[in-house]
Structure 1
Amino acid sequence: MSTDQWNVQERAAQISHDLVSWNSEGGLQGEADFAMRLRDYLLEIPYFRENPDDITIYPAYGQPQTYNLLALVRGTGKRTLGMAGHYDTVSIQNYHELAHLACDPVPLREALIADLASRSLSEQEARALADFQGGDFVPGRGMLDMKSGLAAGIALIEHFSTLEGREGNLLFMTTPDEERESRGMRALREDLPGYLAARGLELDAAINLDATSDQGDGALGRAVYEGTIGKLLPFAYVIGQSSHVSYPFEGISAQLIGAEILRGIEGNTNLADAGGGDVAPPPICLEARDTRNVYEVTTPERFWLSFNWLFQSGTAEDRFTQFRAEVEAALTRATEAFRKNAAAYGALIQASPGASTGAARVITLAELRATALADAAAEKAFADCEASLAGIDNPLELSRRLTEWLANAALLKGPCVVIGFAGLHYPPSRLDPADPRAADLLAAIEKAEAWAVAAEQPHCRRPYFQGISDMSFLGQPKKKGADVVAQNTPAARLVDEPSAEALGFPTVNIGPWGREFHQRLERVHGPYAFGILPKVLKEIAIAFLAPKA
């Protein structure tokens, strides 16, 4: 059957609606139950009914216990193409009074239309109303991010299983926890080598099926991403010297130093990564807070900042070097300005306003850890502290509290700034054309793009998927420069340590498009997600799995 004759629209739409109906909010029971429900769903497909052992369940990380699902459709030979995506979603709470419909797309669309049509609208809301009234866009929690992508993959493996004389193998992989710490994909990465070896397969490439946003006509949403952006969460834990507010120049406020760090880094376009043929957004602050919880007329001694830093070129070590330089410069600016103010105030009162503070310095979390954990007893005490905080799901809070413990254990005095990483390192990736497997994948994509042009659905080629995704770990063994993250991350849970057996293989992202990820008006463009995307994936799969001439 040719791609043009494959009437997939209705089937892919039905699968999408079914998957969305299973609420799988991250960290809740629905996420824990999803893989088993999907297994039963796939067993209704004739191929899997006859070959139930080709569906495999592996435990992932985290509590409640979640699971990865692998569904294999066998053809001939060892050559295998993977398709991957996550099934967890963000919370439904931002649907507010319509939360009970968040996982029921048909009545949800009618309710959203009724709501939007009843009041004055922002430009964004007016666009959503037009989208829903036009009939092409489908709402629902996870419909865009990313169950319509999973549905395209499921529709393809179902169709592939009906082809006679099929060449190669298709492996569908779906995982939990992408929205938090990618624990599902990182667990699967460790299980894949044994899984493939036991079946005599070689995973030569994979397609991530994550969605993208397009506020236009889809020209940018119908995209092939040759890589994914990387992410770091650097932090600055500031320790000042507190003083009574009536005698401010007897110390220096941690907030002053923190404010200067924030001013120097927040939105600084000089820190935006412009390498690798793309431009990443500049670093943005995720959290800035005084760490005390009581009222005092004393200047704050400690202040915490954490930043989101996206990049696609260079290494994590390169970014950490930049971050340290910015923090050191900000610390110098803050202390020098405060000393000038002290001198000016002394002139006004014709007396000394207070002794100057000690020399300010920046130290790394690794240096702090070495001082604080100087013996086995200290190491055990820190391990006990970390274990007691295991229930904290917020990586920023967990990292802040562990850093604070280390600072107290080391008797660290200010003015000083501790720098490190407050979350999981998502490394960037990009296809390497010198890899023969990547060259084969690109050749298959070019054939699919030619079909899309003929179908009047042209695709664009983009270098980096801009949303943080499991693509950072799919087919990506340990990256150069990652050791600096491991050494400077306080929480062991937030350190990614792929095993030596982790497989490397080329990965691209090709998924549905829509608008307003994670929002009340989240919606996918149905005609593309259900009708075109599965056919594009089929064209790639058939071309990639075909024997070489």
Structure 2
Amino acid sequence: MTRWPSVTGSADEASFSEKLRTHLAETAYFKSHPDQLFTVDSHGEPLTRNVVALVRGSGRRTVVLAGHFDTVSITNYGTLAPLACEPEPLTQALLDELRSRPLNGAETKALRDFESGDFIAGRGLLDMKSGLAAGIAALERFAGLEAPEGNILFVATPDEENRSRGMRSLRNALPEIARRFDLDIVGGINLDASSCERDGEEGRAVYLGSIGKFAPFAFVIGRPTHAGYPFNGTSAHRISAEIVRAMDTVPELSDEAFGERSPPPVCLEARDIRDGYDVTTPDRVWLSFNWLTHRRSAGDILGEFRALVSGALQTALETQDAHAARYRNRDTGRTEGLVLTYAELLERLKARGGSAALARLEALDRSLAGGTDPLKVSREIVSAAVTEAGIEGPAVIVGFGSLHYPLVHLQRASTGGSLQGMLQGVMDAAATRHGTSIKFKQIFAGISDMSFFGHRPDAGETGLLAGNTPSAAFTDDAPEGLLSFPTVNIGPWGRDYHQKWERVHAPYTFEVLPDLVFETALAWLAE
């Protein structure tokens, strides 16, 4: 599968599903049961599809094994890009390169790993076609049992590296699949990869949850002025600097839950909204943040972010007023500012411009919907909405600039406690068989399809997010009747995924992992 390129958004990604379906169709089981192997449409042009493969045993209980097949770009391989999807030649080429020049610390570790013979390179081999391979191996092993109890449903999805449109389309189709084949889906195993910089102890793990992600933005509106007369206006840059100072890497804004702590928020983008040069202070500055969470809801995040922005705005205005008073040797008065949510901005837009203004904004959203940069799309829509609404600065608009990835965790499932006990038994037995160690980890730290896998979003939270996310393309339009079931992540481990030195630890990935996935599925079906 690694030799089949599948970079997100490419024609190769779209063609991958048919290659995989054809490959699975050649197995003995699916030659006898062709109706249990099919694809589900996802998105895009050319159309990308999910691959679905069902192996039936007795009864209705079903475990779903899920992984994505899209990969990040191969451009960071440079001159080795033609070998990016050829694991053995690439590994040798990287070895040759590393042996030929002075190395930094990360490169020294990569050389040591490759020379050990335990690591193999390849774009997507770690993230995450090895996970797919483990799921297929477990599926085939289940198909070979004489009288298996329960059913295993294997799914391979596109687009995880962009906005999980593959998993979300599969999630939407799953209720009908369950009805068609009379399945009771009791659990899911996500097969995504993790990283470990030490001897693999942190990588040999079963993850009980996946981190939540919000992308709050602050669209800052100042009052522009000529640089020679700085106190005749209000600096949007000063306001934005105070917002960044209040948000960026502030430890108190991280979450503590499940015995672990999430990273604090970071600023991903800060730019003023103009194309050319002049000596006028900018009237609009865009800020976007990445805020990872272990417990906060959308309402918590929006409320806390608005309060932080309001405080930062007040600090910036008070500081500039104080500077003006000292410069002019007199009291210059107090500058007032305004903070609105994006939903509140839309209300003002409709009050000022009516349905025509709203229609113009919706047309802009449709024209930008194909864009892959959510921050650029959101920035342009908010800027247009501010103009339509006639908002004057100083003011700040706050909302969400990209798709929200919900926090999921086994503890949130009603059967979470008993399932964790079952998992512990499987992990201990597998570790003993293979002479290794396998541990629990609470939160998968990278955003993943697991956020939408078996998770039925809260309707109130979905409405708040949709109302405050400028582009409909970056909201999760979840239909009624979605299935809800507990999930965990069991996948390969390696190092430097997405990077030139991306490599998978072969002994664990190709020996322990398929066994662990298979035995976990069996135990879950027997619960």
Does the C-alpha gap of structure 1 residues 80 and 330 become closer, same or farther in structure 2, counting only changes over 3 Å? same
In the alignment, which residue of structure 1 is the partner of 2:344?
Answer: 367
Q: Check whether the contact 2:369–2:471 (CA below 8 A) recurs between aligned residues.
A: no
Mapped pair 1:540 → 2:520: yes
Q: Check whether the contact 2:71–2:124 (CA below 8 A) recurs between aligned residues.
A: yes
Q: Secondary structure at the match of 2:175?
A: helix
Q: Check whether the contact 1:62–1:183 (CA below 8 A) recurs between aligned residues.
A: no
Counterpart residue type for residue 360 of structure 1: G
Q: Secondary structure at the match of 2:381?
A: helix
In the alignment, which residue of structure 2 is the partner of 1:435?
Answer: 414
Mapped pair 1:214 → 2:196: yes
Question: How do 1:97-108 residues align onto structure 2 when only pairs under 5 Å count?
Answer: 97-108=79-90
Q: Secondary structure at the match of 1:287?
A: strand
Question: How do 1:124-523 residues align onto structure 2 when only pairs under 5 Å count?
Answer: 124-347=106-329, 358-374=335-351, 375-432=354-411, 435-436=414-415, 438-439=416-417, 441-454=419-432, 455-479=434-458, 481-523=461-503
Q: Check whether the contact 1:476–1:504 (CA below 8 A) recurs between aligned residues.
A: yes
CA distance in 1, matches of 2:46, 2:466: 26
Q: Deviation of residue 484 (structure 1)?
A: 2.0
Q: Deviation of residue 433 (structure 1)?
A: 7.0
Counterpart residue type for residue 347 of structure 2: A
Counterpart residue type for residue 452 of structure 1: A
User: What percentage of aligned pairs have identical amino acids?
Assistant: 47
Query: Deviation per CA, 1:51-94, whole angstroms, max 9, x where unpaired?
Result: 11111211002333110111111101000011101100000000
Query: Deviation per CA, 1:302-357, whole angstroms, max 9, x where unpaired?
Result: 0000000000113111111111111111111111111111111112xxx78xx657
Q: Secondary structure at the match of 1:393?
A: coil
Q: Deviation of residue 44 (structure 1)?
A: 1.6
Q: Check whether the contact 2:209–2:488 (CA below 8 A) recurs between aligned residues.
A: yes
Does the C-alpha gap of structure 1 residues 78 and 445 become closer, same or farther in structure 2, counting only changes over 3 Å? same
CA distance in 1, matches of 2:59, 2:269: 51
Question: How do 1:87-126 residues align onto structure 2 when only pairs under 5 Å count?
Answer: 87-126=69-108
Q: Check whether the contact 1:444–1:541 (CA below 8 A) recurs between aligned residues.
A: no
Q: Deviation of residue 387 (structure 1)?
A: 1.5
CA distance in 1, matches of 2:215, 2:7: 24
Q: Secondary structure at the match of 2:285?
A: strand
Q: Check whether the contact 1:447–1:543 (CA below 8 A) recurs between aligned residues.
A: no
Q: Deviation of residue 361 (structure 1)?
A: 1.4
CA distance in 1, matches of 2:452, 2:301: 19
Q: Deviation of residue 373 (structure 1)?
A: 2.7
CA distance in 2, matches of 1:440, 1:376: 54
Q: Check whether the contact 2:57–2:151 (CA below 8 A) recurs between aligned residues.
A: yes
Does the C-alpha gap of structure 1 residues 356 and 400 become closer, same or farther in structure 2, counting only changes over 3 Å? farther
Q: Check whether the contact 1:251–1:356 (CA below 8 A) recurs between aligned residues.
A: no
In the alignment, which residue of structure 2 is the partner of 1:41?
Answer: 23
The Cα RMSD (Å) is 1.4
TM-score after normalising by structure 1: 0.93
Q: Secondary structure at the match of 1:83?
A: strand
CA distance in 1, matches of 2:334, 2:48: 52
Counterpart residue type for residue 154 of structure 2: F
Q: Deviation of residue 434 (structure 1)?
A: 6.1
Q: Deviation of residue 172 (structure 1)?
A: 0.5
Counterpart residue type for residue 199 of structure 1: F
Query: Deviation per CA, 1:487-540, whole angstroms, max 9, x where unpaired?
Result: 100101111121121111000001000001100000110000100000111111
Structure 1 stretch displaced more, 60-69 or 193-202 = 60-69
In the alignment, which residue of structure 2 is the partner of 1:66?
Answer: 48
Q: Check whether the contact 2:70–2:160 (CA below 8 A) recurs between aligned residues.
A: yes
Does the C-alpha gap of structure 1 residues 439 and 268 become closer, same or farther in structure 2, counting only changes over 3 Å? closer
Q: Check whether the contact 1:68–1:174 (CA below 8 A) recurs between aligned residues.
A: yes
Counterpart residue type for residue 368 of structure 1: L
Counterpart residue type for residue 516 of structure 1: D
Q: Deviation of residue 482 (structure 1)?
A: 3.5
Query: Deviation per CA, 1:408-450, whole angstroms, max 9, x where unpaired?
Result: 00011000000000000101011137623x4554343122112
The count of residues paired between Structure 1 and Structure 2 equals: 523
CA distance in 2, matches of 1:373, 1:490: 15
Q: Check whether the contact 2:139–2:518 (CA below 8 A) recurs between aligned residues.
A: no
Q: Check whether the contact 2:350–2:357 (CA below 8 A) recurs between aligned residues.
A: yes
CA distance in 1, matches of 2:78, 2:475: 35
Q: Secondary structure at the match of 1:359?
A: coil
Q: Secondary structure at the match of 1:237?
A: strand
Q: Secondary structure at the match of 2:516?
A: helix
CA distance in 1, matches of 2:86, 2:334: 61
Q: Secondary structure at the match of 1:417?
A: strand
Structure 1 stretch displaced more, 331-340 or 235-244 = 331-340
CA distance in 2, matches of 1:380, 1:21: 46
Q: Check whether the contact 2:318–2:335 (CA below 8 A) recurs between aligned residues.
A: no
Q: Secondary structure at the match of 2:43?
A: coil
Question: How do 1:11-26 residues align onto structure 2 when only pairs under 5 Å count?
Answer: 19-26=1-8
Question: Structure 1 stretches (4+) deviating beyond 6 angstroms?
Answer: none
Q: Secondary structure at the match of 2:491?
A: coil
Does the C-alpha gap of structure 1 residues 433 and 292 become closer, same or farther in structure 2, counting only changes over 3 Å? closer
Query: Deviation per CA, 1:464-496, whole angstroms, max 9, x where unpaired?
Result: 111100000000011363432111001011111
Q: Secondary structure at the match of 1:168?
A: strand
Q: Check whether the contact 2:318–2:334 (CA below 8 A) recurs between aligned residues.
A: no
CA distance in 2, matches of 1:494, 1:56: 28
Q: Name stretches of at least 5 consecutive residues in structure 2 with no aligned partner.
A: none
Q: Check whether the contact 1:317–1:482 (CA below 8 A) recurs between aligned residues.
A: no
Counterpart residue type for residue 383 of structure 2: E
Does the C-alpha gap of structure 1 residues 371 and 512 become closer, same or farther in structure 2, counting only changes over 3 Å? same
Q: Secondary structure at the match of 1:174?
A: strand
Q: Deviation of residue 291 (structure 1)?
A: 0.7
